[in-house]
Amino acid sequence: MKKINFIFGVHNHQPVGNFDGVFQYLFEKSYNPFLNILNQHPKIKCTFHITGPLLEWIQKNHPSYFDILKQMVNRKQVELFSGGMYEPILPIISDQDKLGQIQMMGNYIKNQFHYQPRGMWLAERVWETHLTKVIAEANVEYIAIDDAHFKSTGFSESQLLGYYQMEEQGKTIKVFPISERMRYLVPFQDVNKIFEYLGSIATDQGDQCIVLMDDGEKFGGWPHTYDWVYTQKWLENFFASLEKNQDWVLMTTFSEFVDTHKPMGLVYLPNGSYTEMNEWALRTADAVEYNALRNNLRQNNELEKYGRFFQGGFWRNFLIKYSESNHLHKKMLWVSNKIAEAQQKISKRTISEKKSKILRDAQRALFRGQCNCPYWHGIFGGLYLNHLRFAVYRELIQAEKLIDSIVSSKKKYINFINTDFDKDGNSEIIIESDAYHVILNPSKGGTISEIDYLPNPINLTDVLTRREEVYHKKLFNASQGNSINEIASIHDLIQPKEPGLEKKLFYDSYNRVSLLEHFLPVDSSIWEAHSGKLNSLFSVANVPFKFKNSRISVDKQSCLKLNSAPISIFPDVRFTKQLVFFPGNFKLEIDYEIENFSKDNLNFLVMSEWNLTLLAGTSSDRTYYVKERKLQEPQLNSIGEELNVQEMGFLDSWLNIQIGFQSLEKMIFWRYPIETISQSESGFEKVYQGSCILLGWKVQLKSQEVMRRHLNVFIKEKRD
């Protein structure tokens, strides 16, 4: 009788910062019913990888789940995989953090389940060749990654029924290919089709093995799958069929197969991830061409033969495709380096238990801030989800705040660091105070790309730019439909969450930063700005500024002063801005100067743009205010114009902060929401990313005249 070994596994993950209700929903719809049904079929072996954020949530909220899982581990029905504790993309964090994350999760599993994991899961199956050495040094024996990696190097389907060995600098680990065909069969196709395929790869020797390890959420958590998997008993039928056919479909685990079978040989795999991830990493224009090529192959029935030559993009391209992803990544590296330097200094002397605990807490916060989801975007990616970005920024800011409390002995201070923060070849200025951090970009118009408020950690400038995505075209012909006996894969699902989303697609021509000045025709409107069609006479967005810094004393406080050299906005028109930062609560004084050296009179608007986020556009506890004026629509997703304003800002009762803007001269105040249309596992959705405000004045300059304007910006604890 022909036989085939079958390794079956699930990867269960929820990111740092996801809503408690999402954890609970997926526990009820996927994680718990799957475990209970598996527990009723003790002959069905399964490998579990559960990420750190989810493990910690389950331990706190449903400890009985651990009790059942422990029993299944003890009877060797379940093998547990390790990984990075908080599911980081391993290649993009430091080697020290790689080891720390893997060791932290290994220790957690050992403490909770009295089990030493031998294998580990790679977050999003993102592979880079240097990982072999690090993984081996973490005492991990084997991993599982997509068969697409193998196929791209010339392996055929018949050569992927086992495992191989990889080497880097003499260090080795074992690697199992995950079957893409099985990923698309389970659980979306009828059980009989799966066994037809298993039968086609079974052999007389029975020494080959096929691996399926994929997202556990597809078993009930993805749209429309709960009814298919549980109500219509797909999972029950699948397990029953495995039991019925156990004489030729041999259920096994990674550890059992490694202990009884030799590797099929040596392999060196290229950098990459699973097929869909490689596609999502492409820039939009490239992805359009990529999809056209694949569709052409599919229509000609040649995709299976030639598809392996189309690898798509490279995961790190997300850092280029989305400037926000790159900024978040460089923030993470910045904090990681701070912690590593502090550890190195502290290792040379004895420190108190209090400081030792602060250091451990800082490292855990850093590790939580490395959770991968907000660093990229696909059907499952979280870059577009503002609450996930908020959560990882909160962890990183908290980690930095903790480590600064050890390193700095001053209670009130302000410092600046000149460095290439985002690694693009241009220097940024980092202003660090006891209550806030700011990143200023001289090469990009002297704009601000980050304001961290430390008392209640939040990056107030974490606003996503509105970009065109490949899937936006689907909104114009959205449709869906499933056959009676099969459930659509999440990759094929098209479902708008509200009608008319295609009419709300607006795109930006510049990144959403702050302290960004525009010079506009006097008849410009808020609606042009909202739709991304503002006809700017001049914008400083990509104009390099030169700043000279100095320290000045204001009210006996040592403050940081930055003076820009004049830049030309029109022929014979010069523009400068001076910034003064104060220690303590965030306070920024901005002085603008516009000089008209031409022979003509000038008439235009100068508007300072600020893109800020308080996360919720419709909440009653987060609103706009204008001093001595009642706004008809104070919510943060409102669109409007106010004239003759001398103070306006944001009030947030949730974070308990007030952000204010003041001017002695009466200002024009525009406001509108930054909203994106993105695709998630549940369909197309509109997401509030933040609010754009433009504050400015009408400029009427005669020849040889100078206009000066002053703007104060402050952030402080909100008081009723």
Phi then psi dihedrals of residue 684, to 5 deg: -80, 135
- The C-alpha angle 675, 217, 192, rounded to 5 degrees, equals 130
Radius of gyration for the chain, computed over Cα atoms and rounded to the nearest angstrom: 28
Can you tell me the distance from the alpha carbon of 248 to that of 251, in angstroms, rounded to the nearest whole number? 9
Residue 646: CB atoms within 10 Å: 16
Q: Cα 459 vs. chain centroid, distance in angstroms?
A: 14
Closest by alpha carbon to 514, among 563, 560, 452? 452
Can you tell me the distance from the alpha carbon of 366 to that of 84, in angstroms, rounded to the nearest whole number? 13
* Torsion on CA atoms 695, 699, 704, 710, rounded to nearest 10: -30
Q: Cα 394 vs. chain centroid, distance in angstroms?
A: 13
Task: Give the residues across from 415 on adjacent strands.
Answer: 432
Longest dimension (CA), the chain: 96
Active site annotation includes 124: yes
Spot the catalytic one: 97, 124, 147, 450.
124
Can you tell me the distance from the alpha carbon of 676 to that of 686, in angstroms, rounded to the nearest whole number? 6
Can you tell me the distance from the alpha carbon of 381 to that of 386, in angstroms, rounded to the nearest whole number? 12
CB 575 within 8 A of CB 592: yes
CB 31 within 8 A of CB 12: yes
Closest by alpha carbon to 641, among 676, 614, 613, 667? 667
Can you tell me the distance from the alpha carbon of 373 to that of 465, in angstroms, rounded to the nearest whole number? 18
Task: Give the residues across from 574 on adjacent strands.
Answer: 568, 595
- With a CB cutoff of 8 Å and minimum separation 6, the contacts of 655 are 453, 456, 458, 614
Can you tell me the distance from the alpha carbon of 631 to that of 646, in angstroms, rounded to the nearest whole number? 14
CB 21 within 8 A of CB 227: no
- With a CB cutoff of 8 Å and minimum separation 6, the contacts of 28 are none
Task: Give the residues across from 580 on adjacent strands.
Answer: 561, 589
CB 606 within 8 A of CB 696: yes
Spot the catalytic one: 28, 168, 190, 215.
215
Can you tell me the distance from the alpha carbon of 574 to that of 83, in angstroms, rounded to the nearest whole number? 56
List active site positions: 124, 215
